[in-house]
Structure 1
Amino acid sequence: MEAIIRTTHQGAVRGRLVTDDVAAFLGVPYAAPPFGEARFRAPGPAASWDGVRDALSYGPSVPRAPYAPPFDALIPDEGAQGEDCLNLNIWTPHPAPGDGLPVMVWIHGGAFANGSGSASAYDGSTFARDGVVYVSINYRLGADGFLRLPERPDNRGLLDQIAALEWVRDNIAAFGGDPGQVTVFGESAGAMSIGALLSLPRARGLFRRAILQSGAAHHFLRPASADLITARLAGKLGIGPEAEDFAAVPLDVLLPAQAELRGELGARPDPALWGEAALNMMPFEPVLDALPLPGPECGVQILAGSNREEYRLFLVPTGRLNALGRDRLRATVAAYGLDPDKALSVYERRRPGAVVGELFDAVTTDWFYRIPALRLAEAVPGSYVYEFARRSPACDGLLGACHASELGYVFDRLDDPSYAPMLGERPPQDLADAMHGAWVAFAKTGDPGWAPYDRESRLTQVFDTSSGVAADPRGDERALWEGVR
């Protein structure tokens, strides 16, 4: 197809038309490779080049271990890996109908240890088709991105995200985008990253709007917990806790050890061993001193939400949905800060005959995903809230409206094979039209198409096979968490 050339501050790049109306520029570096002398340091500037650099195929993505079964068959995590991994991808309308188009920057999920901005599932053609300049990014994961290390900056993965947003600010006009109309959006760890970025001074002014899917501002580790993670990984590897010690470990040893560490956390979630990670089950997270809830002064418009049955992703494919015992359920409810008798009577009232795993899903979904989204919306007046409720027929219908099951609809890519295991058969196109359309409308105007959320009405857009606005869905369950989460 026809080649298209645009000029960035580092040099000219050659993209290509992917349809008559959309051009793509792939694998464009926004920062220097974070290895060698740059290992475990803040991202450095990308090198400049002479001539025209091909941007015709994805660049390397961040080195990482694969998802463990059965999740490797459900969640897209593709792409060649390599050291020159701090790159981004751009899809833009062509010929652009004029400058100043809204920009959407996607931050992928993956529990801060997996994922890639170069997965086909995150192809941005549909956004460009609808008049948006879309950017997906890669950022450091696992130990390289989030392990707390002496004399090295914390949150290197977040610093990568900021560097990518600074690149967008400085260069996106060359691709038809307006650097003053940037919306960041992300899912799971991507949304949790945005929750942290909202409070970081260096990120101020880099985006005007934010969409947080299944993650918000409650997902972080305080330094003492992060230090426990560092000590446990170092002990597992038989090394000291310094950056130089970790840098000397070959990646083919370090990456599997990181994955094993998460398995060990899940098998024995003892706070004495893992600190706060014993509750959220993620050893790699942003390291912050306190809950980073922003206020009205953040200057960012918010759209936040969650899926109705998030935790089924972690219960159904593993067979745990029907294996969990009542004692584990009660212990988890108590660890979350609720009275087990009172809380479970409320949750059971709406789910007569539910098995223990279904109650576990409901409580954990609220603690982990729904309540943090609501707290963020409460903190920033004028925010919008959604819930995704379409139940997937996959896994004999048990997968439900689980974690990540909204992604194919947001991206309007129901025909992408990587989404098939999650979507099941015959996913409704009208739901993709509604959800993708709301995301695009929010990026363009700040209004996704329904009224903002407030503490009185608590209006929530529910996306389902029949979508509509609901006032305070499951308000009795939500009320349990007041003053707790």
Structure 2
Amino acid sequence: MTTSTSMVGKIVENVTHPLRAVRAVRRRSLMVGSGMNRRAMIGTSLSVVAAVMSAGSPALAQGAGRMDEAATRYGRVRGKREDGIVKFLGVPYAAPPLGELRFKAPKPPRSWSGVRDAVSFPNPAFQAAGGEMGPTGNGRMPAPSEDCLYLNIWTPAADCERRPVMFYNHGGGYMIGSGSATGQDGTHLARLYDVVVVESNHRLGMLGYLFLGDLAGGDYAANQGMLDILAALRWTRENIENFGGDPDNIMVWGESGGGAKTAAIYTMPDAVSLFHKASIESAAPLRLPTREGATARARRTLELLGLTTSDIPQLHEIPAGRLLEIQQSEAANGVAPWGDPDPLPGFGAFVDGAIIPRHPFAEGVASFSAGKPLMCGTCRDETVFFSLFEPPDIFRIDEAGLRRELSRTYQGAELDQIIRTFHTSRPDATPAQLYFAITTSPIWRDAIKIAEAKVAQRAAPVFMYQLAYKNPTVVPGTDFPIGSPHASDINLKFANTDKNLDFFLYADQSPGRLATARHMSALWAGFARKGRPTATDVPRWPAYTLKDRATMWLDAECEIITDPDKDERLFWENRA
């Protein structure tokens, strides 16, 4: 069977037309089952991230509170105390990547005298404005900008107490997103669990991943967006003790595109000393595109800009808005397929041979990350998310409709086998539920492959989970409950369930959902603290092994499931 990742790739960068993008995702969602690169799946989910990120914030106190100060290597910063913690917002970790620094590795920030205010959210990376960003958003963040290399810190106190540090990578498929998004606000995690939360903004899209190193002389970087994250991690290692964090106990974690970034960090030699454990959530990037593909993408970008390789210095002068137009139009017109082994990948992390020397998990786990515990898992109903913003036809399909939709990817005896397998595994499921189960299961399949690779390393443990809470909120215009779709974990693991409920995905305020949030946030904080996810009122979570494949079933009442959906797992194994 041939892969269809290039079809999905046509959607990933189309952030100016989110509804059209999501409709296209639904039409292509079955491509997941045909071996598509997981990064494509990750990116598509957040074409509508503005709605997701604007939902479910902590209750923010009105008015300014007491100001607290902390020292960094570059100067002192002043944060604000509110909601029972201290927030340092917009702390520079690198120099603005402007002018001649565009497409280059990040440089250290300039030192300053006096005390710098760090009380407002910084500019998100350059991208299409909307949602929470800029004058057309809800006002939480300023407009996107190239001057974006800042991070936010939520801490119980800037007191040198050496608390666990939770360094979160925001989602958005390398294309959109922000370390200031409401749903992932670190206030509740910091206050409830006595941890320090750090989130960075970093270059995205063309500005973060256009690779010119093989087309021009000079010091053009590969994976400059990942180098930004590396610089933010290094800053955290060097300075976080002054903010109440432990530089010797740093967890990196992220969901969707942020999970892909976390997997890349797990594979970067220069990050080895900068973190100690990781969690890869709703993402399973076994492979990344190649250096050759990134170079081919750069050549195509130059053509669209009307430039040759000798004109590369002009890229420093082209307005960022023009680069964004090219980035988006290329995706919209279908000339930038995304996938592996497709020779023309989209903008995102790739195997360059040095910064990222290998694929994350397709050929085992990097030896230098052997001692780092890992969490990995998915939401139970990931692909439901991709159909939430289009006419609800798919939620009403009958058996014939199920076969019709699946036939976009599977044919003949294989189509019969997959339908029969999932009917047997889930005998009470409706045709629509089977459709989403079948299109979600490859994500879980590849998460299992990550866990198996970590088990085979025989070093640090790996812990597997599924978010299984069945959110009863129905898709508008249907009687279909959304269950646990992609991105539904964000607010839960950050314990952000009390405000900004304008997006129906987060409207459920039932005791069951609130209990799930308590369990999930406590487990993640427990993993940050000890390298083993522990929490009160939750069963002991054993490490994953090939013998019992123990998996935490995250719900209002958590339980450990042995080898969940075994027949479905075996179906994928036998198909490989």
Partner of 2:573, secondary structure, is coil
- Residue in 2 that maps onto 1:13: 77
The partner residue of 2:237 within 150, 169, 173 is 169
CA contact (8 A) 2:266 2:366 kept: no
**Distance in 2, Cα, partners of 1:154 & 1:357:** 43
The partner residue of 1:303 within 368, 375, 378 is 375
Q: How does 1:39-188 map to 2 (within 5 A)?
A: 39-66=102-129, 79-94=142-157, 96=159, 99-129=161-191, 130-149=193-212, 150-151=215-216, 152-188=220-256
Q: CA deviation at 1:308?
A: 1.1
Residue 444 of structure 2 is aligned to residue 370 of structure 1? yes
Aligned length: 469
Amino acid at match of 1:454: T
**Distance in 1, Cα, partners of 2:419 & 2:330:** 31
Q: How does 1:234-313 map to 2 (within 5 A)?
A: 234-240=302-308, 243-244=312-313, 246-265=315-334, 274=338, 276=340, 283-288=346-351, 290-293=358-361, 294-295=365-366, 297-298=368-369, 299-313=371-385
Q: CA deviation at 1:237?
A: 4.1
Amino acid at match of 2:439: T
Amino acid at match of 2:209: F
CA contact (8 A) 1:121 1:416 kept: no
CA contact (8 A) 1:453 1:460 kept: yes
Residue 469 of structure 2 is aligned to residue 390 of structure 1? yes
**Distance in 2, Cα, partners of 1:256 & 1:350:** 46
Partner of 1:470, secondary structure, is strand
**Distance in 2, Cα, partners of 1:402 & 1:283:** 25
Residue 4 of structure 2 is aligned to residue 4 of structure 1? no
Of structures 1 and 2, the one with the larger relative CO (CA 8 A, separation 6+) is: 2
Amino acid at match of 2:572: W
**Distance in 1, Cα, partners of 2:141 & 2:416:** 44
Q: CA deviation at 1:214?
A: 0.7
Q: 1:253 to 1:171 in 2, by over 3 A?
A: same
Q: CA deviation at 1:325?
A: 7.5
- Residue in 2 that maps onto 1:190: 258
**Distance in 1, Cα, partners of 2:428 & 2:312:** 52
Partner of 2:298, secondary structure, is helix
**Distance in 1, Cα, partners of 2:234 & 2:171:** 20
Listed as ranges, the gaps of 5+ residues in structure 2 are: 1-64, 353-357, 456-460, 535-540
**Distance in 2, Cα, partners of 1:239 & 1:59:** 33
Q: 1:113 to 1:419 in 2, by over 3 A?
A: farther
**Distance in 1, Cα, partners of 2:140 & 2:379:** 21
Q: 1:106 to 1:348 in 2, by over 3 A?
A: same
**Distance in 2, Cα, partners of 1:250 & 1:277:** 32
Give me the identity figure in percent: 33
Stretch of structure 1 that moved more, 325-334 or 151-160: 325-334
CA contact (8 A) 1:79 1:118 kept: no
**Distance in 2, Cα, partners of 1:37 & 1:52:** 28
Amino acid at match of 1:312: V
Amino acid at match of 2:104: R
Q: TM-score, normalised by structure 1?
A: 0.87
Residues 255-294 of structure 1, C-alpha deviations (whole Å, 9 max, x = no match)? 24323434444xx99xxx5553879x98222111653222
CA contact (8 A) 1:3 1:16 kept: yes
Q: TM-score, normalised by structure 2?
A: 0.74
The partner residue of 2:394 within 321, 333, 336 is 321
**Distance in 1, Cα, partners of 2:569 & 2:139:** 32
Partner of 2:231, secondary structure, is helix
**Distance in 1, Cα, partners of 2:340 & 2:431:** 25
Q: CA deviation at 1:401?
A: 1.3
